[in-house]
Structure 1
């Protein structure tokens, strides 16, 4: 008599709703079951694996997601339907809110109008390349009808196209969003391969920035003397911390006796939560850095000043624990810090730059002083040294030329 243990694994009876698992003629294992699909319908899905355990695990995951109410997109559906599913059910759980907002704008503004009507399974690399080429050469005022919404038309509406084209960086960003979405479709076995990976958009030139020179940096710090946020600007120029990292610093993160700071969080404004404390940008961004003696002294004076402001505010003081706060103790809005910075630049008689260019200024000045690239990478919190090398390639080339000139002068001497 045959017992369940004697029955081959591929033929065992499974519970109702668990799906079926069997071995194919090509030696692969196939599992099939019913899951929730868009439109509150159910569809049969098939997954594959090299072992029975692997195929069963994939099917179990899909059924578990379905039981939690997450619909599985239909590969027979359009690219627009899949992108919408991906944004609402996948990307929203893996991206920061601001990043998800940018992805959503990219999908709705470019991807769905350009590729949305095509079937997901029939999308080809040629389709993507043709669309990107068209996007690269098409005026956005005409395509998105921006001119029609202006009070005083200056482009298509008056027959004079301004040829407002997308930058290579924007095109590369749009392509990367599409690749991310299709990569997840491959992982869910909705499509066999990511055709967007077969399209090369080229490496765009990095965004140009104009860091402060040593003289300009000194002029800025001199003008900031006496400002209630002088310690912030001094710390920014000496350490290269990002704006959100500076505003997210708590006093408990600082060890002024040892001269160190632990970078653990960042402060950002989001649409849903307002001013929100978030983890650092990447895992590498969570780091401990050395704080120069000059900044330590400024921070001690800043702490005394904050204590006086706290006593003056009395019951109105908002205890947030932040190092840099408003006069009432609340967190500083990043936009307000930018306004303060621009005012300080005008007062110092310096050219207009972004606050983020203070970070570039730090790295550039350190490179010019001969500091090794790996040290700058650790200070800035870059994930890989290649990022540091790429961003500051122009500085390294200039230093190479100066070194070659110095060497040539030495060799020319008798």
Structure 2
């Protein structure tokens, strides 16, 4: 009589609904079972592994997801169906809400209209490259009918060149936007590879080129002094001074709590952002490296003490209507400050000080630039700004380092007693490319 122990592992009977597991002729193990599919249907899926345990674990994971109501996708389905599944069941659990919102906009504005009808299994690198080239060369107003949905009379008065009026405005996507769209597609297809829906990520075989970093306009030393002078007496004096002297992001400043301030230090744990579902929400820092403790300048400590005293007076005047959030920077009634409101106040301060218009984030760039010009090491600036890698700091502020190199070379030449420019009969050196 044959007992269950005598039965080979590949032929043991599993419970109904658990699927089957058996060894193939090529020595690999295959597990198959029925799971929930798109459209509230059932489909049979197959997974593979080098051992029986590995194949069974993969199948068990898919069945468990099916029991939770998460539909499985098939490579024979369209890319639009997979992107929708990826956004709703995968990306939403691994991305910050603001990042997920941007990814959703990219998927619905560019990926689905351009590649959505393609089968996931039949998508090729040529398809991706052709689509990206179209995005790069075609006017987006014409392609998406943006201007056609607007009032023609209003467009004629404000924009003489308008697609709705028959005069193409030639609005094309920037290199940074194209790189972002490409990265979203790569992320989605990479998860399809991990789920063994497709054998490879074809988007990785397409090169979009390295976009130029965004230009920023940091304040000069003289402009920084004028900015600090103009900020004196402002309700957010401590905030503006802290932004320029420490390089904190806008969200990090607005998310700062009084309990985060210690003896001459500030611990950056959270950031304040406006999200689509939660409104003004306190979130974790941008990255793990962004969670840091920084030293506060003496002037910032003095400004923060004066700010806390002023906030206590506002609390007494408001009385029971005061909304206690524990934040350092709040509105006069204690509620959180809208980031857009802070931007308007910052722009008004620049106008009153007769300073050129810059972004609020350029205060952060100003901090790093001024520190570099003072000879502060790059690793110290990296820790202060909370960059994930020192390569990010080095890349963003490469122009500053190049200027410092020129100053160092000129200083060395002066020490070696070089003659003034134009002296002697030596011909000028040819300009060599800098890499």
TM-score of Structure 1 vs Structure 2, range by shorter chain: over 0.9
**SS of the residue aligned with 1:15?**
coil
2:424 alignment counterpart? none
- Structure-2 separation of matches of 1:277 and 1:79: 34
| Count of paired positions | 412
Which residue number in structure 2 is paired with residue 125 of structure 1?
125
Residue 296 of structure 2 corresponds to 291
Match of 1:196 in 2: 203
Q: Give the equivalent residue in structure 1 for 2:371.
A: 366
Cα distance, 1:103 vs structure 2: 0.9
Q: In the TM superposition, what is the alpha-carbon distance from 1:9 to its structure 2 partner?
A: 1.8
- Report what 1:248 is aligned to: 255
Partner residue in 1 for 2:181: 174
Q: What residue in structure 2 maps to residue 218 of structure 1? A: 225
Bigger mean CA offset, 49-58 vs 125-134? 49-58
Stretch moving more, 222-231 or 84-93? 84-93
How far did 1:48 drift?
Answer: 1.2
Runs of 4+ in 1 over 3 A off after TM superposition: none
Distance in 2 between the 1:130 and 1:63 partners? 38
For residues 197 and 288 of structure 2, the distance between their equivalents in structure 1, rounded to whole angstroms, comes to 31
- Equivalence map 1:92-107=2 (5 Å): 92-107=92-107
The answer as to 2:25 corresponding to 1:18 is no
Distance in structure 1 (CA, Å) of the matches to 2:77 and 2:170: 35
Local SS of the residue matching 2:387: coil
1:386 match: 391
Mapped to 1, the partners of 2:13 and 2:74 lie a distance apart of 28
Q: Which residue does the alignment assign to 1:108?
A: 108
How many angstroms apart in 2 are the aligned matches of 1:278 and 1:285? 12
Offset at residue 163 of structure 1 (A): 1.5
Aligned-residue offset at 1:262 = 0.8
Q: Find the counterpart in structure 1 of residue 52 from structure 2.
A: 52
Residues of 1 paired with 2:180 and 2:67: CA distance? 34
Who is 1:86 aligned against?
Answer: 86
Q: CA deviation at 1:131?
A: 0.8
- More displaced 10-residue stretch of structure 1: 279-288 or 19-28: 19-28
* Distance across 1 between alignment mates of 2:196 and 2:412: 59
* Secondary structure at 1:283 match in 2: coil
Gaps of 5+ in 2: 420-435
Q: TM-score, normalised by structure 1?
A: 0.97
CA distance in 1: counterparts of 2:339 and 2:177, whole angstroms: 24
Deviates more, 1:174-183 or 1:6-15: 6-15
- Deviation per CA, 1:69-104: give whole Å up to 9, x if none: 000112111111111111111111211222111111
Query: Which deviates the most, 11-20 or 118-127?
Result: 11-20
Distance, in Å, in 2 between the alignment partners of 1:270 and 1:157 is 33
Aligned mate of 1:406, from 404, 411, 414: 411
Cα RMSD for the two superposed structures:
1.2
Q: 2:62 — aligned with what?
A: 62
Q: Which runs of 5+ in 1 are unaligned?
A: none
> How far did residue 413 of structure 1 move?
4.6
What is the CA–CA distance in structure 1 between the aligned matches of 2:404 and 2:6, rounded to whole Å?
75
| In structure 2, C-alpha distance between the alignment counterparts of 1:100 and 1:394, rounded to whole Å | 33
Report the Cα offset of residue 8 of structure 1: 2.1
How does the TM-score come out when normalised to structure 2? 0.93
For 2:426, the equivalent position in structure 1 comes to: none
What's the offset of the Cα at 1:238?
1.0
Counterpart CA distance in 2 for 1:341 and 1:380 is: 21
Pairwise CA distance, 1:21: 1.3
Deviations 1:280-299 (A, max 9, x none): 11111111111111111111
Q: Report the 3-state secondary structure (helix = DSSP H, G, I; strand = E; otherwise coil) of the residue aligned with 2:272.
A: strand
